[in-house]
Structures are given as structure tokens and as C-alpha cells.
Amino acid sequence: MAPPSTFRGVNSCSSLGIGLAGFGTVGSGVWNTLHRNGQLITGRTGGGVTLHISKILVRDPARVRATVTEVPREVFTTDWRALVEDPAVDIVVELIGGTTDAFEIVAAALRARKPVVTGNKALLAERGVELFALSKEMDTPIHFEAAVAGGIPIIRTVQDSFIGNRIHSFSGIINGTSNYILGRMTDAGLTFEAALAEAQALGYAEADPALDVNGWDAAHKAILLATLAYGFPIDPKEIHVSGIEQVRPTDIAFAKNLGYVVKLLAVIREHADGSVELRVQPSFIAKSNILASVHGVFNAVAVHGDAAGESLFYGRGAGQDPTASSVVADLVEAARSLRQTTGHRGFLPYRESGELRPVSETSTAYYVRFDVTDRPGVVAEIATVLAAHRIGISGIHSPVDPSDPDAEFKDMVFLFHTCSFGKLQSALDEVAELDCINSTPVVFRIETLG
């Protein structure tokens, strides 16, 4: 099989055509970036990369954003097959989202031996096994820098700069919406519902914010990072994901008093036996840790490699221009691979399988909030169950108003010493059966980060 550059004869082209599937916030940002900086890109690549958008897939051409600069109407199509099959299209950019039509577009482009650029983390996390196999079969790469952390070049860094490192761990804040919400709860004392409404009003959260607040947007990104670092496909069903929907001002206040902040944290860690820990959950992290100072919609990823040591990558995790910047960087890389026969430059899994460590075998300290009935003996009942499971208690608190010590309390907070999550969960399942417990206990990990 001939490499794509020979097969398609693109070395003789003066310009490479892009098929842009999707023209929303990011797609229009890609158009504007190329329109604004096209000559700069060509100059920086020694005149070897000239890019133009040949075709744009939209649902309704009449609803194209008026703010986009000088888009000829004839480039629009509503037929994705026409985009992929157009001989003027050399590279396909998928920005429509979802995992159905997006899968068909990417798969068709790969079969046509047209490199793909995508920012679709859900697609790659859930159907990446199929697509990466097809990419390898067709010797045609998938580039996905924009799928993780917006404008932060974390994907290329892991692929290239850390290629000689055994990566021990990632820990990161990789969902800007949840970080904004938790920040407003911390700084302004807002409830979760009020902070979410504010994020939606500012355009930081979608009308349906489920993937952001339930942790799965961050989880999809974490799966991609782990797949890159450890080289084997990961089934989303096998990882532990918990969101921020149950975070209350009570939890934020306790964290502050204890010297912590609450963040939605993605943790990826390789253990000595080769198993990989991967989980996403709201966590307490020390105020002294650099991740605690990541505010607003910004993202940050800390990477620990055996040779490079600790590195931190920080920047905007979403938005039109940062994400478009990552898409354009991938476009340049895809264009270079077409013009110069340098081999497959996308991700290629290098192991058929690996072992994910069960979340039950992962260990931290914990903060647990119990919704209890105010009556004598509540603490003793809970503590008796925990003692039977040999779980150490480092603190017990109830948010009683000092000015009214006889007021009824509802929340009881326990702090636990480090133990396995499985042991904790077994104990909490038993505690939840007590008559004094009114709802499922809420768990936050207390993280010790390097």
C-alpha cells in the first residue's frame, strides 16, 4: 500500500483543501484563524503548508453565523458524503460532536485515506478502538489535540516530548465548566444551582450541562490521556466517574476550614504492578498545591514522567479561539504528513491490552457527609459500623451554629484515614441501612498529589 502522499499526489499541490464538518463555535473559529493567520502559518512552515477550506458541512446554511469573515456561500453543503468525497478536500476536520454521524464521517474519511482532525473526545473515548484500528489499517492518521484541554498542547506533548518517558501519573482539572461552578461556590458562596445558572448565562455551560457536571466530559479526556500514555484501549464502563451535582456550600466551607479547596479532579496513575488507576471525582486538594490556584474556566494538567519529572500545563480549556488554535496546529501536522512521507503521525496503540486497577483497590483519605436524623447516639451508631470495618476516623464535625447550640442539625461530617475505596464503600453501604441515615452518604476523596 502506497503512503497517502504518493497515493494522492498531494506533493504537487500548491495548497491543501480542508473539509470542515461543523461550523459552530469552534468551526467558525478555525475559519477565522486561517483567514487571519494563513500567511503567518505558511511562512512559519517555510512555505511548505498552505491551507484553505474547500467545503463546510452545516445543517442549515441559512443559519451560518454572521460574525464569520467572508465565507463564500458555495462552500457550504448539508451532505457529509459530498464533503468527504470531494476531490478538493485533502483533510477532513470533524467538529459536529456526538458519536453517530461523527463516527460515519471519520470512518469514511479514513477509508478515503484523508487524514482526520477532530476535537470529539466522546467519539474517541467510546469508539476509538474501532477508529484507531481503521486508522492503522489505512495508514492514515487521526489528530485530536483539541479533544483534551482546549488550547493546551497536552496531546502533542505526550506524543512527542514525553515519548522517551515512562509516565507515572497525570492529575488535572480538565473541565472548565465544573471548575467555574466550584470556584463561584467557593468565592461567592453560591449554591450549586445558582453557580450553574450563572455559568449558563455567561455561555460557559450548555443548556444541557450534564456531561460537564456529571464528570463524563472530564472522563472522556482522561481516557484519551491514559490511552496515549499507556498504549492500550480503555472501556469507559470500567472507570469510576462522579460529578459535582452533590457538592453543597457545607462541603465548600469544611474544605476551606481544613485548608483545602474542592476541585473536579482527574487522576491517572500507573502502579508498580503495571496496572493503571483512572478515576474522576470531586476531591479535596490542599490550598498549597498549584492545582488549587486554577480558577475560572481554565484547565491544568500535571504530568510526572520518570525522566522529565514534574511538568504543569495550564491554559484555557475551552472556547472558540483556544480550541481553534489546537485544531489548526493539527491541520498543519496533517498537511506536513501529506506533503512529506514521514510515516503515520497520529496515535497508534502499542499494546493490545492492559490492566485497569479496580476503583475498589485505590486508596486515599476521605471526607464523607451523612444526612442524619438529629437524635442521641447517631455518632456512636455510625462509628460502630466503621470500627467493625477497621476504618480509622480522623475527625467528626457537625455544622451547629455556636449561637444556637440546641438547633437541629442535619449533616454530619466524618474524616477518614487512608483506606481502600472498596473497604470504605462496604462500610458506607452498611451505614446507609441505619435508621438515622436519610440518604446515600456523599464521598469526597482527600488527595495527596506530588
* Sequence-ordered alpha helix ranges (H) in 17-100: 25-44, 80-85
Is a pLDDT exceeding 60 seen at residue 287? yes
Looking at residue 3, what is its pLDDT? 37
Annotated catalytic sites, by residue?
221
| Structural domains of the chain in order of their starting residue, each with its CATH number | 4-150+320-339 (3.40.50.720), 164-315 (3.30.360.10), 359-446 (3.30.70.260)
User: Helix 25-44 vs helix 320-339: angle between axes, to the nearest 10 degrees?
Assistant: 50
Length of the chain equals: 450
Looking at residue 6, what is its pLDDT? 32
Looking at residue 163, what is its pLDDT? 86
Looking at residue 353, what is its pLDDT? 77
pLDDT digits (tens, 9 = 90+) for 259-268: 999 999 999 9
Longest pairwise C-alpha distance within the chain: 84
Q: Specify which of 141-155, 219-233, 313-327, 391-405 reaches the highest per-range mean pLDDT.
A: 219-233
Residue bearing the bigger pLDDT, 3 or 37: 37
Looking at residue 51, what is its pLDDT? 92
Least confident of 34-43, 61-70, 245-254, 280-289: 61-70
Residue 159 binned pLDDT confidence (cut-offs 50, 70, 90)? confident
Looking at residue 82, what is its pLDDT? 95
CA-to-CA dists, residue 138 to 84, 103, 108, 112, 281, angstroms: 15, 16, 11, 8, 38
User: Helix 192-201 vs helix 176-188: angle between axes, to the nearest 10 degrees?
Assistant: 120
- What are the backbone dihedrals phi and psi of residue 163, each rounded to the nearest 5 degrees, phi first? -65, -25
Q: How many CB atoms lie within 10 A of CB 124?
A: 26
Distance in angstroms (rounded) separating the CA atoms of residues 425 and 386: 11
Average pLDDT, the chain: 88
Which position has the grid cell 476551606?
256
Is a pLDDT exceeding 60 seen at residue 248? yes
Contact 424, 391 (CB under 8 A): yes
Is a pLDDT exceeding 80 seen at residue 46? no
pLDDT digits (tens, 9 = 90+) for 293-311: 999 999 999 999 999 999 9
Distance in angstroms (rounded) separating the CA atoms of residues 390 and 283: 23
